[in-house]
Amino acid sequence: MRMPAERERQRFYTAGAQELRETEIAALVAAAGGIYVGVMDAIPGKTEAIVLFSSRRTKSTLAISISHLTIEAVRAHLAESDEAFGSAAAD
């Protein structure tokens, strides 16, 4: 039995003890104030999946490992990057 087309396109990523759909990851990044870009797949035995997102202010692309993905972590990463780019622009 084949799965519905929408279900086939939906990717799941393991984040700690839970699985997240790509749409859930995108919503989490948006709730934190970022722009979701995508997920770099894990390399088994070497790296975990990496979530990519952009700053609305600076348009810089940032990354966070999926195991550290929380609204608070994305906000902190965005704030740190925005401050660094803001400081560089002022120099």
pLDDT for the residue 19: 79
pTM for this predicted structure: 0.79
- What's the rounded Cα separation, in Å, for the pair 11 and 38? 11
Strand 50-55: give its sheet, edge to edge: 34-40, 50-55, 61-65
* Cβ neighbourhood burial of 3 (10 Å; 0-12, 13-18, 19+): exposed
| 68 and 49 Cβ atoms separated by less than 8 Å | no
Give 79 or 7, the one with higher predicted confidence. 79
Residue 54 CA from chain centroid, whole number? 9
- What's the rounded Cα separation, in Å, for the pair 16 and 81? 25
**Given pLDDT bands bounded at 50, 70 and 90, which one contains residue 91?**
very low
pLDDT for the residue 3: 46
Q: Inform me whether the pLDDT recorded for 80 exceeds 80.
A: yes
pLDDT for the residue 17: 52
- What's the rounded Cα separation, in Å, for the pair 79 and 74? 9
